Structure 1
């Protein structure tokens, strides 16, 4: 029984440690740290916190952060669903040079957003 509790505790500690490291990286302006932390929050269904971190990455010039923040708006996970805002952030991601991001932007624009 003690072994099971110890294993569970170590597993929890490693997840908590990963969150702390990613959050710290984001806090000092490392946009990939923001994205990593955001994905961890998404895995825990904490979409609002994930969206905040994606926005922070986007504000730091990270195209992947802009794309993910656009998805938050498109699907209404972590942000109120808003296709115009999604298109705005997909455009920023597209400007970052990713063809896939451009296709999402163009699709929403063709629908009038």
Structure 2
């Protein structure tokens, strides 16, 4: 009997969280950011990492809530720790730009790597910029080229363009004007 009760509670919680996710997204799409924030807060509190990330975005940008970079940082961290690649990417941006946290390129690189490894194309794209500039990591055009390629393969047009620039200049790859075009 206890097993059935626990199973029902778990199933109800999952269904409840999914409803909050969908309702929050609908409210956001309609421009009702305050309602989205309320719903995503409930979903985040119930363990939905994606909604912690979405709620972090609202706090970062002051949509439906007072702008609060520290709260955004906490929410992105919670999402990232739960395996949400977008949370890792967003937290990396805060560390790269120094919004709500002390600017730390090395920490940004670690977070971008985690996002990239989890399939977040823009995590790869942001990481390649750090490799290209040598910020938080040793400058490495070859690694930048690999990340540009990964981003390009994932549909990041800017990654494709920048990979072409590296081929044109012969940075990290053999100079190849045909591949550059």
1:43 equivalent in alignment to 2:65: no
RMSD (Å) for aligned C-alpha atoms: 1.6
**TM score, norm. by length of structure 2:** 0.51
Identify unmatched segments of 5+ residues in structure 1.
1-13
**Paired residues, number:** 100
Q: TM-score, normalised by structure 1?
A: 0.79
Mapped partners of 1:72, 1:100: distance in 2: 14
Q: Which runs of 4+ in 1 moved over 2 A?
A: 14-20
Structure with more contact order per residue of length (Cα contacts < 8 Å, sep ≥ 6): 1
Correspondence list, 1:1-113, <5 A: 15-44=33-62, 45-110=67-132, 111-113=134-136
C-alpha displacement at 1:18, in angstroms?
A: 2.9
Secondary structure in structure 2 of the residue aligned to 1:78: coil
For structure 2, which runs of at least 5 residues remain unmatched after alignment?
1-31, 137-181
Which structure features the higher share of helix residues?
A: 1
> Greater Rg, structure 1 or structure 2?
2
